[in-house]
């Protein structure tokens, strides 16, 4: 199985799948060849043709972002985001551990394509990958742009794009208001390409094998493969690589199936959406299918909730975590998130329809009123809980809270 085998969906994880070892530079070059010196393809056009979409959560077309930065005036910069602030997600960490040179190649190739003379690879301070990344960087020779490894405060919002740029510019890891966006004015005031590390790894392979190869797997609107973190009530929680379009049920199967009967799944990370079963098995794993179902790819994390747990309690717990991770700059987020977390707790305890009504009203007033998308994401999570666990709200109020509501939450303890 090689990376050029069009039938293999193990592209980024080919080395890991074949050998079970983390790839050093020699292993990386043996498998994928050396990063092309002059461009084998005109990279921006090729990435545009490939349809590659960002893997950091927004799914924005990467080629379009590359073109926007390249069109900027003067020198540009590249930031590779490997911070992975969402606790439900482990894919970036896994990729950086087992195939760091794919990411580093991607950074260098992207930098060449947009005319950057500076590049940064950002990870959380104290992350275990820091040491292996330093080693990987030390192995490389002759890169036209040498990525600088930067350690960022390990906070949820610190890896939001404007927060990352703000940190690189000033040392303050809090989001800033938009405009400008990094592609317009970012690090050192220059147009900056800011991409998730997985996006850049896919880019490194598109540079070698082309858009047609990339598109040979996946769907029209979601081409290629993706890393997905599977957790919760599954036998083998971990990071897997799948072609887009794979039914979610097959992905649960890759993770060994369920350890207990499941009721719902959290799709997209802590700021994603709940989906009930059987939707959460029947749906294809793609931007468009999840969007139609009222969810989204987000950070490509799937968490299976055992039926014995209480979805309202779990959601309240995650919301309380998100509230604690507010940067504390914008009133609606700073005050609104703790309030909706408390509202969800009250619903779990059996407060009933008036509390649900108050919560809905509050949720209507959060999106778009912060400097970043943190309150929007929390709203998305809470709104999906109100929808998917509507029957639980009724039962808790008319009868009594379920047994799961009396136990500690299960998801936040074991997501990695």
Which residues contribute to the site for other proteins (CB under 8 A)? 54, 56-60, 64-65, 68, 81, 159-161, 176-178, 181, 183, 194-196, 329-332, 335-336, 365, 368-371, 373
CB of 236 to other proteins, least distance (A): 29
Could you tell me which of 355, 284, 335, 344 has the C-alpha nearest to residue 316? Answer: 344
Q: Which residues of 153-188 are buried (b: 16+ CB within 10 A; e: fewer)?
A: bbbbbbbbbbbbbbbbeeeebbbbeeeebbbeebbe
Nearer to other proteins, 48 or 392 (CB): 48
CB of 11 to other proteins, least distance (A): 21
What DSSP line would sit under 353-397, residue for residue? Answer: HHHHHHHHHHHHTSTT-SSSSHHHHHHHHHHHHHHHTHHHHHHHH
Copy the structure tokens of residue 195.
């991409």
CB of 8 to other proteins, least distance (A): 27
Nearer to other proteins, 237 or 370 (CB): 370
What DSSP line would sit under 88-121, residue for residue? Answer: T--HHHHHHHH-HHHHHHHHHHHHHHHTEEEEEE
Nearer to other proteins, 111 or 305 (CB): 111
CB of 397 to other proteins, least distance (A): 23
CB of 370 to other proteins, least distance (A): 5
CB of 414 to other proteins, least distance (A): 26
Cα pseudo-dihedral 233, 234, 238, 244, rounded to 10: -110
CB of 65 to other proteins, least distance (A): 6
**Which residues have CB under 8 Å from 135's CB, separation 6+?**
none
Residue 116: phi, psi to the nearest 5? Answer: -90, 145
CB of 365 to other proteins, least distance (A): 6
Nearer to other proteins, 24 or 184 (CB): 184
Nearer to other proteins, 137 or 334 (CB): 334
Nearer to other proteins, 304 or 341 (CB): 341
CB of 55 to other proteins, least distance (A): 9
Dist. CA 137–CA 25, nearest whole Å: 9
Could you tell me which of 87, 123, 42 has the C-alpha nearest to residue 266? Answer: 87
**Secondary structure letter of residue 229 according to DSSP:** E
Strands 301-306 and 225-232: parallel
At which residue do the structure tokens 């590390």 appear?
Answer: 197
Query: What is the greatest pairwise CA distance in the chain?
Result: 69
Nearer to other proteins, 40 or 358 (CB): 358
Dist. CA 23–CA 17, nearest whole Å: 11
Nearer to other proteins, 229 or 313 (CB): 229
Copy the structure tokens of residue 67.
């073109």
Dist. CA 261–CA 244, nearest whole Å: 26
Sign, CA dihedral 366-368-370-374, equals positive
Nearer to other proteins, 180 or 238 (CB): 180
């Amino acid at each position: 199985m090689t990376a050029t085998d069009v039938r293999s969906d193990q592209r980024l994880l080919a080395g890991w799948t074949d050998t079970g070892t983390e790839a050093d530079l020699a292993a990386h070059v043996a498998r994928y060849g050396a990063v092309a010196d002059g461009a084998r393809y005109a990279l921006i056009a090729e990435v545009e043709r490939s349809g590659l979409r960002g893997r950091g959560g927004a799914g924005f077309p990467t080629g379009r972002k590359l073109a926007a930065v390249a069109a900027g005036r003067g020198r540009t910069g590249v930031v590779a985001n490997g911070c992975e602030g969402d606790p439900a997600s482990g894919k970036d960490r896994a990729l950086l551990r087992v195939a760091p040179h794919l990411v580093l190649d991607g950074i260098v190739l992207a930098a060449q394509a947009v005319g950057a003379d500076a590049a940064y690879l950002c990870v959380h301070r104290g992350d275990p990958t820091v040491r292996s990344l330093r080693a990987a960087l030390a192995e490389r020779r002759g890169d036209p742009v040498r990525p600088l490894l930067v350690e960022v405060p390990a906070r949820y919002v610190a890896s939001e794009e404007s927060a990352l740029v703000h940190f690189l510019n000033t040392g303050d890891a809090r989001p800033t208001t938009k405009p400008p966006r990094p592609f317009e004015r970012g690090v050192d005031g220059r147009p900056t390409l800011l991409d998730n590390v997985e996006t850049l790894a896919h880019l490194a392979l598109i540079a070698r094998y082309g858009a047609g190869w990339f598109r040979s797997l996946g769907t029209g609107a979601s081409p290629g493969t993706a890393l997905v973190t599977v957790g919760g009530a599954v036998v083998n929680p971990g990071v897997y690589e799948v072609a887009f379009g794979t039914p979610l049920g097959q992905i649960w199967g890759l993770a060994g199936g369920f350890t207990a009967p499941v009721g719902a799944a959290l799709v997209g990370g802590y700021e994603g959406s709940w989906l009930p079963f059987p939707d959460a098995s029947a749906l294809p794993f793609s931007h468009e299918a999840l969007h139609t179902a009222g969810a989204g790819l987000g950070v490509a994390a799937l968490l299976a909730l055992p039926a014995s747990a209480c979805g309202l309690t779990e959601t309240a717990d995650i919301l309380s975590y998100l509230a604690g991770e507010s940067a504390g700059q914008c009133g609606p987020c700073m005050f609104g998130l703790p309030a909706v977390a408390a509202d969800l707790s009250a619903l779990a305890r059996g407060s009933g329809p008036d509390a649900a009504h108050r919560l809905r009203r509050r949720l209507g007033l959060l999106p778009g009123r912060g400097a970043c998308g943190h309150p929007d994401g929390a709203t998305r999570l809470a709104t999906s809980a109100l929808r998917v666990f509507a029957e639980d709200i009724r039962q808790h109020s008319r009868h009594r809270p379920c047994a799961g509501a009396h136990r500690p939450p299960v998801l936040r303890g074991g997501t990695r």
